[in-house]
Structure 1
Amino acid sequence: MARVRSAAFDDQRETILAQAAALFARQGYTATSMNEVAAACGISKPTLYHYVRDKHELLLSVAEAHVARLEALVAAVAVEQLAPRARLQALVSRFVLAYADAQHEHRVLTEDVKFLDAEARERVLAGERRVVAAFADAVHALRPELAEAALAKPLAMLLFGMINWMFTWLKPGGRYDHAAMAPVVVDLFLGGLGAVQAPGPQSASAAARRSTMTTKKETLL
């Protein structure tokens, strides 16, 4: 009979994945050692190997866990059975907000998956393809007349082109945060530049981060 993992085990593993993602995002996968991951988690290296076999498995776990969370968002929106426009709006808004809380994991997904072996990389990419397919289906539901031109997936990819790289320019402490920009992305994608409305006052989270900053950071917004 397979051993049932304890809640403490799962909590510790989540901590390890979060710390590893932060290190990979800051200094790169290849430049990060397992000693550094263990130190960041406050555990010994032998203890770290109790949770993951090696650094490759650690990278795979970070990437798969992030994609699984995104797939869960897609599933949650599907359960709501929204009208086509509301469904696409919900998907875009929730993904932008999810990226705000998982910027390290998202950077790892976009920059470090290439270091996985072919089989592991395909597992991650398969999950990403399912997410893209869900967005393409939402686009098709809203604009079914575009089916003959097979534009649903290209339009979904253009949308991801807008939101996937926000972490490279939307800086902590800037004028806007992800919560403020989510409706802007929705407006721009669904209505074009003429439909964009200026965000209201910055969110409380952005204001709090700005007020606690002790050093000046370069921002692009």
Structure 2
Amino acid sequence: MIGMAATAPKPEARGNESRGENRREALLDAAAAMFAAKGFDGTSIRDIAGAVGMLPGSLYYHFKSKEELLLAVYRKGVARFEAAIDEALGRTVAEPWQAIEAACAAHLSILLDGGDYARIVNPEFVRSFPPEMLPVLNAERDRYERHFEKLIAALPLEPGTDRWLFKVSLFGSLNWSQTWYRKGRYTPRDIAAAFIGMLRQPRA
């Protein structure tokens, strides 16, 4: 039996979907800016909706709560880091030290661009969010860090090196750079090369 052909979406339906996605992205950007500037507690749904010319009640069509909106903002921020790393590794040879340095430079390129999403995913800033949100946000962070764990696992480190501590030291250095970095003197690539140079151990 020949099945009936699926009905193609009407042009107006596709247009509504596109407009809905655009409004959602606008809400994410507005929320990211306000959370970064005023904190989670200092930002209201009314503030975010007003920033995009929307009634507060209409925002709930896209997000059920301010907490759900925060999670979406955080995930979008993490996705930016992941995309930068994927692109960097796609241009890098498979040599382990070069790969980890490229990933660090990509991480720093997003972290140090001064953007709202970069600030929101910073561990120091995350501590200001509601405690009940931390487990799910930390799970997103852990998922992102697994990209680095795989790269660190491939490094020819000295026998007995604690690779978890290596990761913690590396991320501590990378993320702390957000507090002192000023454009001009160093590039993200310069900083990544310096950090990896300090952590790198000569083979026996």
Q: TM-score w.r.t. structure 1 length?
A: 0.69
Equivalences for 1:32-181 in 2 at 5 Å? 32-76=43-87, 82-101=94-113, 103-109=115-121, 110=123, 111-112=125-126, 115-116=129-130, 118=132, 120-146=133-159, 148-149=160-161, 151-171=162-182, 174-176=183-185, 180-181=186-187
Q: Is it true that 1:30 corresponds to 2:44 in the alignment?
A: no
- Checking the alignment, whether the CA contact within 8 Å between 2:96 and 2:155 is kept in structure 1 is yes
- Checking the alignment, whether the CA contact within 8 Å between 2:101 and 2:192 is kept in structure 1 is yes
Q: Structure 1 stretch 78-87 or stretch 90-99: which is displaced more?
A: 78-87
Deviations 1:49-101 (A, max 9, x none): 22111211111111122223333444445556622122112101111112244
One-letter code of the match for 1:186? Answer: A
One-letter code of the match for 2:50? Answer: A
| Unaligned stretches of 5+ residues in structure 2 | 1-12, 200-204
More helix by share: 1
Q: Distance in 2 between matches of 1:127 and 1:75?
A: 17
The 1:113–1:103 alpha-carbon spacing in structure 2 relative to 1, beyond 3 Å, is farther
Identity of aligned residues (%): 26
Give the structure 2 partner of residue 198 of structure 1: none
One-letter code of the match for 2:117? Answer: E
Q: Distance in 2 between matches of 1:56 and 1:131?
A: 20
Q: Distance in 2 between matches of 1:79 and 1:13?
A: 30
| Count of residues in correspondence between the two structures | 183
Out of 184, 190, 202, which is 2:190 matched to? 184
Deviations 1:117-166 (A, max 9, x none): 64x533332231132232133223222434x33x2221222121122233
